[in-house]
Amino acid sequence: MALISGYHHLTMSTDGAQEDFDFFAKDLGLHSVKRTVLFDGVLPVYHLYYGSKNGDASTIFTTFPFRKPGVFGRRGTNQSKIIQAAIPVGAAEFWVNRLNERGVKAAKTSRFGMARVALEHPCGIPFELVENPGDTREVITNDKQGIGKEHGIKGIYGVAISVADRTAMDDFFTIAIPMKKLADNHEGLAFAVPENHGLHSVVEVLHEPERPQGTWTLSGGTIHHIALNTGNEENQLKLRAHIEGLGFTDISEQKDRNYFKSCYVRSPGGALFEIAWTVPEGWAKDEAPGSIGKTLVFPPWFEDRRAEMVAGLEPANFDT
Ligand SMILES: [Fe+2]
C-alpha cells in the first residue's frame, strides 16, 4: 500500500464569492460541502468547499474568494497552473455546450492523448474537464442543475504545474512522493498519483520558462496548493518523516484544519503540496450528515467572534 491514495483536495484563491459559488455550484454542478471562514487578522474571507454530496476525499475543490484590494496574484511559472476535474468518456461535448450557453467560454482540446474541455474560472484560473477512461468513481449528479450520470464530474483528475526547468519535479516525484512517469514528450510530463483504489489521477508538468514567476501568497486568481490523501495519521507522519529526512526540511508541522489535518511542503517546481487525512467526524463535525454545506460555520477558535466575522464578509447568495 502506498502512503498516498489519490488527491484529498485542491485549493485556490479566487475573486468574488458570488461568482465563485455560481461557477462551482451551478455551472459545474458540484455540491456545497462546507462554508466557513479564513481570518488572517485583517479581514475575514470565506473558505468554500465543493465536491460530491457527501464530500468524499478526491472530489473536493476549495476556494478562498479573496476580493481584497492590492492582493490579486500573478499567475506564472513555478506555480500550479490548471485545475483538472475528471468527466466520463464522451461527456466533453455536453460541457462545451453547457458552459458556452451559460457564458463560460469553453472549447475541446487534448493533451497526453486525453480529450478535455478547457475553460476558466471567473477569476481567470485555467480549468480542464478531462475524459478519463481509467476513473471508476461515481459521477456527481445534480438534478437541480441538470447534470445527470452520463456527464457529471467525478472528482479531481489532477493539476498541471508550470515550471521554468523541465526537470524541476523529477527528484520530488522519484524519491519524496514516488509517482510513476506516464508521459515525457513535447507536451510536458505526466505522473500518476499513487492510488490504492484503482482510480487514476495525475500531476502534469508543463515547461514554460518564458512565463514570469507566479506568486506563492494567498492572493486572488491563483492556485494555492494541491493536497494528497494519506488516509490516516500514521501514513501522514511516516511520509512527513520520509520527506523531511531527504532534506526537505521546510515541510510544516501537522496543522489542524478542523475537518482534516495537514502538513505542507514546497516542491522544487514551486507548487505547494499538502498531505492530509480527514478526521473521523469529517464534514459532519458541525452540520448534520446528509445536509452538509448548507450553513455558515465557524471553527471553534472563531466562534466567539462570529458577529464581527459575519459583518466583515462579502455579501453573497448561496442558494442554488
Ligand atoms: Fe489544503
CA of 94 to the centre of ligand 1 (A): 30
CA of 179 to the centre of ligand 1 (A): 20
The DSSP annotation for 85-111 comes to EEE-TT-HHHHHHHHHHTT---EEEEE
pLDDT at 78: 98
CA of 60 to the centre of ligand 1 (A): 10
CA of 72 to the centre of ligand 1 (A): 20
User: 20 vs 50, 124, 227, 287, CA distance in Å?
Assistant: 10, 11, 20, 22
pLDDT at 1: 64
pTM of the model: 0.96
pLDDT at 66: 80
User: 280 vs 49, 129, 207, 232, CA distance in Å?
Assistant: 18, 30, 40, 9
pLDDT at 304: 87
Q: Which three cell numbers stand for residue 199?
A: 482510480
Q: What is the 3-state secondary structure (H, E, C) of 206-274?
A: EECCCCCECCCCCCECEEEEEEEECCCHHHHHHHHHHHHHCCCCCCCCCEECCCEEEEEEECCCCCEEE
Sheet strands side by side (includes 155-163): 107-111, 114-120, 126-131, 79-87, 155-163, 202-207, 188-192, 180-185
Q: How far apart, in whole angstroms, are the C-alpha atoms of residue 139 and residue 85?
A: 11
Long-range contacts of residues 98-106, Cβ cutoff 8 Å, at least 24 apart: 98/27, 99/27, 102/26, 102/27, 104/23, 104/27
Structural domains of the chain in order of their starting residue, each with its CATH number: 7-312 (3.10.180.10)
CA of 157 to the centre of ligand 1 (A): 16
CA of 148 to the centre of ligand 1 (A): 29
Spell out the per-residue pLDDT of the chain, length 320, in tens.
689 999 999 999 999 999 999 999 999 999 999 999 987 777 889 999 999 999 998 999 999 998 877 678 999 999 999 999 999 999 999 999 999 999 999 999 999 999 999 999 999 999 999 999 999 999 999 999 999 999 999 999 999 999 999 999 998 999 999 999 999 999 999 999 998 776 789 999 999 999 999 999 988 999 999 999 999 999 999 999 999 999 999 999 999 999 999 999 999 999 999 999 999 999 999 999 889 999 999 888 888 888 988 998 999 999 99
Q: How far apart, in whole angstroms, are the C-alpha atoms of residue 267 and residue 263?
A: 13
256: number of Cβ within 10 Å: 12
CA of 299 to the centre of ligand 1 (A): 15
Residue found by looking up cell 458541525 in the block: 286
Sheet strands side by side (includes 222-229): 31-39, 44-51, 60-65, 7-14, 222-229, 272-278, 260-266, 255-256
CA of 183 to the centre of ligand 1 (A): 27
CA of 92 to the centre of ligand 1 (A): 28
CA of 283 to the centre of ligand 1 (A): 14
pLDDT at 165: 96
